[in-house]
Amino acid sequence: MFDELINKLKNDTYITLETTPSHSPIFSPIIETIAELGLDKLVDGFTTTDNPLAKLKYNSLFAAKMLQDRFNKPAIATMSMRDRNKIALQSDLLGSNEVDVRAILALTGDPATISDQPHTKGVFEADSTLLLEIVACFNSGIDFAGKPLAHQPREIYPFAVVNSYAKNPKTLQKKMQKKIKHGALGIITQPVYDIQSAKLLLELKDAANNHNSNENKNAELILGIFPITKLRTAQFLSAHVPGINVPNEWIELLREAHEKGSDEEYRVGFELSKNLFLGLKKLHPKIHLMSANQFQLARDILI
């Protein structure tokens, strides 16, 4: 399952779909929606988020297990440094390894100060590269303290993330280099909204790989896309989400459409998003689709 995913990432087209577990003890409604829409037939795998924005959600590792069991396709489970120390990180990896949840997206995590749970404190023993280091240890048969594990874990496949925009692009390259050095096989970008930005990110990825002298430590870039169908979404992402750049052209077109009504606003936003998806797929067919669980929208983008 995972070997096929990595082979597609390196040598073929590759599309994953993000799922966001809800504030509920039940993940199955999301699975049923995906099945009803036939989305599993349109993607190569899934990701599960880990309490994004520090809001309490269903566990990402359990969600990944359920997706894999239902669709027989790999799921990349996100693990955040915000909520776990070294012991908890390693314990989760040990447990998930036996049930075949073995693709891990390492995140530092959003600040605990924005959590919906009162007086929450972040752990943050280090940034996401610590988790990448732990994965490398497990793949060598030892824990982070260097102690041999009682049984050799099955291989774990580490992924990482990077912003899609920075005033100084070299900072993005340095972040890529750091994550590649620590073993990331795939680096997922924040949503991209124009082809030129995607081309620049690919150049930075190539430079980051070339900077690494170890040929066995090269990473593939996975372009993130988040369809925008509302003006307020474009304005929010542009003004409040660091590392994302929504072109002024998109905002102006959505503003004009918004004045004509919600149907026109959706039509224009969808057309912009669909054309972007097709353009990115032609440029670099390694894509991660995020839709905030708007799965009908995701299907319409993919077909």
Convert the pLDDT of each residue in 87-108 to its tens digit. 999 999 999 999 999 999 999 9
The residues near 103 (Cβ < 8 Å, ≥ 6 apart) are 2, 5, 45, 64, 74, 75, 76, 77, 156, 157, 159
Confidence band of 217 (pLDDT split at 50, 70, 90): confident
Query: For residue 179, is pLDDT > 80?
Result: yes
| 290 vs 189: CA distance, rounded Å | 11
pLDDT at position 27: 98
pLDDT at position 83: 96
* Mean pLDDT calculated for residue range 46-54: 97
| 166 vs 295: CA distance, rounded Å | 30
Find the helix or strand (DSSP H, E) in which 229 lies: none
* Mean pLDDT calculated for residue range 27-44: 98
Q: Is 28 exposed, middle or buried (0-12, 13-18, 19+ CB in 10 A)?
A: exposed
pLDDT digits (tens, 9 = 90+) for 147-174: 999 999 999 999 999 999 999 999 999 9
pLDDT at position 215: 58
| 30 vs 17: CA distance, rounded Å | 12
pLDDT at position 212: 73
Across all residues in the chain, what is the average pLDDT? 96
Q: Please choose, from the candidates 228, 229, 290, the residue with its C-alpha nearest in 3D space to the C-alpha of residue 49.
A: 290
Largest Cα–Cα distance in the chain?
65
Percentage of residues of the chain with pLDDT beyond 70 = 99
Domain ranges of the chain: 2-302
Query: For residue 75, is pLDDT > 80?
Result: yes
Q: Assess if CATH 3.20.20.220 describes domain 2-302.
A: yes
* Mean pLDDT calculated for residue range 117-131: 96
Q: Please choose, from the candidates 242, 244, 226, the residue with its C-alpha nearest in 3D space to the C-alpha of residue 293.
A: 226
Confidence band of 53 (pLDDT split at 50, 70, 90): very high
| 95 vs 99: CA distance, rounded Å | 7
Find the helix or strand (DSSP H, E) in which 179 lies: helix 169-181
pLDDT at position 211: 84
